[in-house]
Amino acid sequence: MTENRFITILGWIATFTAVCMYVSYIQQIDLNLSGSKGGAIQPLATAINCTLWVGYGLLKTKRDYPVALANFPGVILGLMTFITAI
């Protein structure tokens, strides 16, 4: 396996694991909506961080789709968690 192919596979595996991490916010959103509120700062920080990474991945000359795709769920789910926590 060439180094370039290895890096590509590694990037997509990292993308998958990042999406899994952000999907874990769904449980906290459910808890927030049922009255067991969690903290709001961490999901807001996640949403801001992920917004920056999505922008980075899509705005650079050679698009970095794995970075953008890995962080996009963090924007949506981080904001949803933040909103339901306040």
35-73 pLDDT, tens digit each = 999 999 999 999 999 999 999 999 999 999 989 999 999
String of DSSP letters for 1-12 = --HHHHHHHHHH
Determine the 3-state secondary structure of 66 from DSSP. helix
31-40 pLDDT, tens digit each = 999 999 999 9
Which amino acid is residue 42, in one-letter code?
Q
**pTM summary value:** 0.86
Q: How far apart are CA 69 and CA 54, in angstroms?
A: 7
